[in-house]
Structure 1
Amino acid sequence: MASTSGDSWMKEYNEATKLADDINGMISEKTAMSGSGPDSQRHFSSVRRKITILGTRLDSLESLLSKLPSKKTITEKEFNRRKDMLSNLRTKTNQMATTLNMSNFANRDSLLGPETKSVDAVTRASEMDNQGIVSLQRQIMKEQDEGLEQLEETVISTKHIALAVNEELELHTRLIVQFLPLS
């Protein structure tokens, strides 16, 4: 008795499972490849990108799943089964990321913050009058501004590091060209 939203969840889940299987196969190919040449690096980069895409899909599935019970589209037993399926796939994804030393993948929340803030704001706002909502909005905007200021500092710091690396590379290039024997 699943509705179209439930069916779309299963379709999305099946696509995510196929992607996970594809990634698993690519990791197996990576271990079979020898060396660390450009092809191997390209392959490694492709696997990392796919793992990131899979993580985003799992976040989307989790969001869709959290909306299903409120609409009474699936039974509680089915909801728990899907929750377990999603948890198992997320564990498998984290294991694949660990295999590739993508330690920051599992800790994305530490970089971006948990996604529950918007849900909390909605539930808090549902109990407020207009003035309370405006006050909450100002508070949230202030928090976002502070987050943007931290991001700006990080970007500026990264820019300075990149410029220093560029200067160092230019120096090394000049030294190499200067001491290269003319043929």
Structure 2
Amino acid sequence: MLFREDLLGQSKKAADDMSRVAGLDNQGIVGLQRQVMREQDEGLERLEETVLSTKHIALAVNEELTLHTRLIDDLEDHVDVTNSRLQRVQKRLAILNKRAKGGCSCMCLMLSVAAIVLLAVIVWLLIKYL
């Protein structure tokens, strides 16, 4: 991770700048200015690399978020469909439950049918053998 000092260099005071220039002729001052400009250019290049890297990371995060948003939307659609199906089944079960409570249960109905069949067989056997 780059810090401000890494990119811009240590903060310098005006007195330090003056001491660097003291004793230099015009050519020396121009050379010092070129050196400072090269250092600034290098710092800007490092800053550009950092900004580009951050941009690529931000784009990748954006793509991930877009994908996750799509997946969540699809999941929400599936949950809605499943919920509506579940509500229909619950309504049908409630109706069936009311019918079962209101009249004979299925077991009573089947026992009655079995008893009628058994009685019919007994009556048929009595008629046949008497």
**Length-normalised TM-score, structure 1:** 0.38
User: Out of 121, 129, 141, which is 2:25 matched to?
Assistant: 129
Cα pair distance change 1:143/1:111, threshold 3 Å: closer
Match for residue 159 of structure 1?
55
Match runs of 1:159-178 below 5 Å: 159-178=55-74
The one-letter amino acid of 2:50's match is T
Question: Higher Cα Rg: structure 1 or 2?
Answer: 2
In structure 2, how many angstroms separate the alpha carbons of the residues matched to 1:119 and 1:146? 24
String of CA shifts for 1:148-168, please: whole Å, max 9, x gaps.
001000000000000000000
In structure 2, C-alpha distance between the alignment counterparts of 1:127 and 1:162, rounded to whole Å: 49
In the TM superposition, what whole-angstrom CA distance separates every residue of 1:8-64 from its partner, at most 9, and x where no partner exists?
xxxxxxxxxxxxxxxxxxxxxxxxxxxxxxxxxxxxxxxxxxxxxxxxxxxxxxxxx
> Out of 143, 153, 159, which is 2:39 matched to?
143
Name the CA shift for 1:141/1:122 in 2 (closer, same or farther; >3 Å).
Answer: same
**Counterpart mapping for 1:62-81 below 5 A:** none
What's the RMSD between the two structures over aligned residues? Answer: 2.4
Uncovered stretches (5+) of structure 2, i.e. residues with no partner: 84-130
For residues 142 and 161 of structure 1, the distance between their equivalents in structure 2, rounded to whole angstroms, comes to: 29
Structure 1 portions without partners, runs of 5+: 1-103
Give 1:127 deviation, angstroms: 1.9
Q: Tell me how far 1:113 sits from its aligned partner.
A: 2.7
